[in-house]
Amino acid sequence: MGEKLECWECSSSLQCCGNLWPKARYPSMTAVEAGKTVAELEGSESKVVLFSVMGMTCAACAGSVEKTIKRLPGIREAVVDVLNHKAQVLYLPSMVNEERIREAIEDAGFEAKVIEEDSNYTSTQICRIHIRGMTCTSCSSTIESALQSLRGVHKARVALTTEEAEVHYDPKILTHNHLMEAIQGTGFEAILISTGEHISKIELKIDGIKNDQSLGAIERSLRALPGVETIAIYPEINKIAITYIPHMTGPRTFIEVIESTGSGCFKAVIFPNDEGREALRQQEINRYFKLFIWSLAFTVPVFLTSMVFMYIPGVKRVLDVKIVNMLNIGLLLRCDFATPVQFIIGRRFYVGAYRALRKGSANMDVLIALGTNAAYFYSLYVVERSVFSRHFKGNDFFETSSMLISFILLGKYLEVLAKGKTSQAIAKLMNLTPETATLLTQDDKGDVVSEKQIDIRLIQKDDVIKVVPGSKVASDGFVIWGQSHVNESMITGEARPVAKRRGDMVIGGTMNENGVMHVKVTRVGSESALSQIVRLVESAQMAKAPVQKLADHISKYFVPLVIVLSLSTWLSWFLAGKLHAYPKSWIPSSMNYFELALQFGISVMVIACPCALGLATPTAVMVGTGVGATQGVLIKGGQALESAHKVNCIVFDKTGTLTVGKPVVVTTKLFKKMSIKDFYEFTAAAEVNSEHPIAKAIVEHAKKITEEQNHSWPVAHNFVSVSGHGVKAIVLNKDILVGNKKMMLDHNITISADAEEILAEAESLAQTGILVSMDGEVAGVLAVSDPLKPGANEVISILNSMKIKSIMVTGDNWGTANSIARQAGIETVIAEAQPETKATKIKELQASGYTVAMVGDGINDSPALVAADVGMAIGAGTDIAIEAADIVLMKSNLEDIIIAIDLANKTFSRIRLNYFWALGYNILAIPIAAGILYSSTRFRLPPWIAGAAMAASSLSVVCSSLLLKNYKRPSKLNNMEINGVKIE
């Protein structure tokens, strides 16, 4: 963050006066504007404008645009999207207007126009909803179809394993209430989780409310605050839920407003949160456990009276006592105990079956309802015949229906218990942040006046918090006082503590080790790095792998096919018995041929398991992405996993990927009679507007030459960044060009033999030669060195052993590129490549039959990352919101590429194993349940055992996926040595 907050009045640093605009951030502000307080200026309502910005080709361009906009007074936020050529600006109309912003962008060398009112522009908001009641892929497909049929929905994903829906929709057409109504219309319960990527939600309990007028006054006061999105009031429990933009307002502001409303008679506190992810998961686990216990309590007597007591002579005589005609005590007891199991405890299966059939689909609940109904209602028929007949002898199947429901509930209980473990990675991430934080109050001089403990949910942007040794950092921010070492392994996977001092960024949820720090909060709530990581992993766990299409396709026809097979089985055995096609000795003494046929039919119906197929992919993806997150490798879903395991060619960017990414100027040669200080004055003035690592290295070196850390460079006019080549600008009426050899030749600038010799020498030493021209003549040559990352050679060697081809593509010159490639052990090199050239090369490799992964810095290489089968963003650090990448390597370590590919291989192998088991189980189990072995072995599966086998098959798939939690990094990496130090 490093910005010097210098006051307009007294030129002191870091908010001396507490509320004046800093010079560094608003250099063009007038004295009158500067005299106004932040509260006066920010009190006016902010506006959002969207610009189309043409001419941007890389992150350096986007950085220049963003920097230019943020220099204007009254700019609250600016976000530049280089991929879609757009810039979104949040500004104060009282200080700046759209035309002034547009002019500033064009002064930076880009073409801009307002597109806010463009009818072709569609905004997108992301809504996440928890869904209760789904049992198999048929349910999730039904909900997904209902959501996607809504006008305004761009994309909808429903995950069976996480029981959540993620919907991308146009808020101008729809609201989240429409989405929830659509889900509820399919017969499922919907609970809102969040309504936007950068929108937070807080629930407050308000004491002192006497009537509706009080609530109305509070609501009006809150709606007047900037940044408040929605307000929901629950008068029966005095609760108010507020969604808001965290960088504009926050919970403490809400509490202050509420308590200042109505002459201070209201008191507001954070509402106890019992609707969290884990709370909902625990509720479901408890619900299934209670259902199973109740079912067991009623089923045990049914089991004992039908299968145990009948073999105890004294008890058997009591149970055989007739009540009415052939109705005995045992049969009546079984009917009485089985009925609550069928209709009260088993009600959820009827509800699920009704929901599915109403929408024209069939799920697991349909099979269970049909199977148990067949057994129960045949048994009820036996009871009725026994009541009205003196001679009827029939066998009931009450134990079949009740035991079947009990075993299925037990299987469901174990399944949700195991499914909960598949999402433990998310739970661990969400529990990283502490419950409380120490909030500091400072005076005008920056001295601490007071400190108090507050709930972490009350932290707001620009708060200053104290972090003591042994405690966790409460929120993202930068250090303004103190120094320490922070363990960031829980977020980035980096094992070694990172030194932090004034100006350094810290991440919420990381552990402070040995020093006291004062941290100014920059991001809270949904904007924090931890929240973004959690959201990315959650989104990844919802994304379907292409291989899952097989299960989705099978599930459409599976249940109807099983019903047909079940009826065919019953009919075949019934007709065979009626026509005496098999010996009478095949029929058990306690049955007749109809009852034998009925048992075979029910067994077929309840042993088939579409759930195992539906869980095969998502559970493995959940565990795999969770394990990846703990390793510092963020994998964006099943598509990325499936593509990564096929990779046989990796294209590397050079700067910041293969090299350290922090270049330094090592030599300078002048060809004009001028001082070195003047030379760097012009060069740095041109390069200070660029975000390229080499430009930053030149500016840092220039600061050392001038011996001033905060030196004020001359203003550069007509600045243009030429992607892949360099920059040009007018500085103090001189035409300045800073770039590579090709840029000079493109501008018809002659390069002397001496300059050529220095460039060649730099290239031979793996250094980048930079030419500086002034008014059409080469004024000097800089040599910039960016060393190879430690361990890069070993990683390339391991990739070669894995039969994965390595290629380096860079915008740097051929000499430097070849030298770096030789050091890394890469044979194929493409140099002086512009961003679009990298993407073209990747497409050529794909056309040749390669599955290509691109490893780059996430933004500069965005065209190539998008073009590749798998885009890997390295060096992302805490900035994980990189849409172009499929995999984000947070530690910036090259060995994580191998971990990502190895984990993808292991996960996909587990998916294949799950499918093999799920398909194999159904292919083998259904014929056995249908009696294929009965003729030769007299082996048959009673329906209750078939139900237990069905429940066990789903559980076995989930447990198979859970084995991925034991993932260990490849042993080849454990043998790596970097600079003589063995990596463990």
Q: Which CATH superfamily is domain 664-785 in?
A: Calcium-transporting ATPase, cytoplasmic domain N (3.40.1110.10)
- How, if at all, do strands 887-889 and 870-874 pair? parallel
What percent of the chain stands above pLDDT 70?
Answer: 85
Q: Do domains 47-114 and 125-195 have the same CATH topology?
A: yes
Per-residue pLDDT reduced to its tens digit, 692-732: 778 888 988 888 887 766 677 888 888 888 877 889 999 88
| Rounded-to-integer distance, Cα 51 and Cα 936, Å | 78
At 538, is the pLDDT very low, low, confident or very high (cuts 50, 70, 90)? low
Closest CA to 755 of 765, 766, 744: 744
Output the pLDDT for position 291: 93
Q: What is the pLDDT of residue 295?
A: 93
Give kind and range of the element (H or E) at residue 348.
helix 347-358
> Residue 36: what pLDDT?
42
875, 632 contact by CB (below 8 A):
no
User: Which is catalytic among the residues 653, 869, 896, 902?
Assistant: 653
The pLDDT of residue 22 is above 80: no
The pLDDT score that the predictor gives to residue 20 is 37
Comparison of pLDDT for 76 and 776, the residue scoring more: 776
Q: Tell me the pLDDT tens digit for each residue of 794-811.
A: 899 999 999 999 999 887
Strand order in the sheet with 484-487: 498-500, 484-487, 511-512
> What does the alpha-carbon distance between residue 163 and residue 181 come to, in Å, rounded to a whole number?
17
pLDDT digits (tens, 9 = 90+) for 615-670: 788 888 888 888 888 888 888 777 888 888 899 999 998 877 888 777 888 889 99
Q: What is the pLDDT of residue 282?
A: 80
What count of other Cβ atoms lies within 10 Å of the Cβ of residue 495?
12
Can 81 be counted among the known catalytic residues?
no
Confidence at 118, pLDDT banded by 50, 70, 90:
very low
**Weakest mean pLDDT among 42-51, 504-513, 758-767:** 42-51
pLDDT given at position 424: 63
State residue 806's pLDDT score: 93
Element (H, E) at 484: strand 484-487
Please, are residues 378 and 335 in contact by the beta-carbon 8 Å criterion?
A: no
User: 418-427, 741-750, 856-865, 913-922: which range is least confident on average?
Assistant: 418-427
* Higher local confidence (pLDDT), 389 or 118: 389
The reported pLDDT for the residue numbered 421 is 66
Topology (CATH level 3) of domain 125-195: Alpha-Beta Plaits (3.30.70)
Question: What fold does the segment set 633-659+788-890 form as a domain?
Answer: Rossmann fold (3.40.50)
Is the pLDDT at 19 greater than 70, yes or no?
no
Mean pLDDT of 524-551: 70
Band of pLDDT at residue 15, cut at 50, 70 and 90: very low
Mean of per-residue pLDDT scores for the chain: 80
pTM assigned to the model? 0.64
Structure tokens at 789: 């990352």
When pLDDT is cut at 50, 70 and 90, the band that residue 539 belongs to is: low
pLDDT, tens digit, 9 for 90 and up, residues 173-193: 888 888 988 998 888 888 877
Indicate the pLDDT class of residue 984, thresholds 50, 70 and 90: very low
Each residue of 53-86: pLDDT tens digit?
Answer: 877 755 556 767 887 888 888 887 787 765 567 7
pLDDT above 90: percentage of residues in the chain: 12
Q: Choose the weakest-confidence range: 381-390, 523-532, 542-551.
A: 542-551
Confidence tier at 863 by pLDDT (50, 70, 90): confident
Class of domain 445-530: mainly beta
Please list, in sequence order, all residues whose beta carbon lies within 8 angstroms of the beta carbon of residue 445, skipping any fewer than 6 positions away.
12, 16
Confidence category of residue 766, pLDDT binned at 50, 70, 90: confident
Higher pLDDT, 162 or 443: 443
Q: What is the pLDDT of residues 451-498, one digit of tens each?
A: 888 888 888 888 899 999 988 898 888 898 898 988 876 666 555 688
Pick from 271, 253, 258, 256: which is nearest to 461 by CA? 253
CA 655 to chain centre: 27
Q: Match 């090369």 to its residue by tokens.
A: 841
- Residue 130, pLDDT above cutoff 50: yes
Question: Would you state the pLDDT for residue 902?
Answer: 92
**Domain extents in the chain:** 47-114, 125-195, 200-271, 279-429, 445-530, 546-619+905-969, 633-659+788-890, 664-785
More confidently predicted of 514 and 892: 514
pLDDT digits (tens, 9 = 90+) for 398-409: 888 888 888 888
Distance CA 899, CA 902 (A): 5
How sure is the predictor about 983, in pLDDT bands with cuts at 50, 70 and 90? Answer: very low
- Which segment, 262-271, 524-533, 677-686, is predicted with the most confidence on average? 677-686
Please state which CATH number belongs to domain 47-114. 3.30.70.100
Predicted pLDDT at 572: 93
Residues 6+ positions from 826 with CB-CB distance below 8 Å: 652, 658, 796, 806, 807, 808
pLDDT higher than 70, residue 18: no
Distance between CA 190 and CA 275 in Å, rounded?
A: 12
Number of neighbours of residue 951 by Cβ within 10 angstroms: 23
Domain 200-271: give its CATH architecture: 2-Layer Sandwich (3.30)
Q: How far is CA 242 from CA 91, 215, 218, 291, 522, in A?
A: 23, 14, 12, 36, 21
**Residue 872 pLDDT more than 50?**
yes
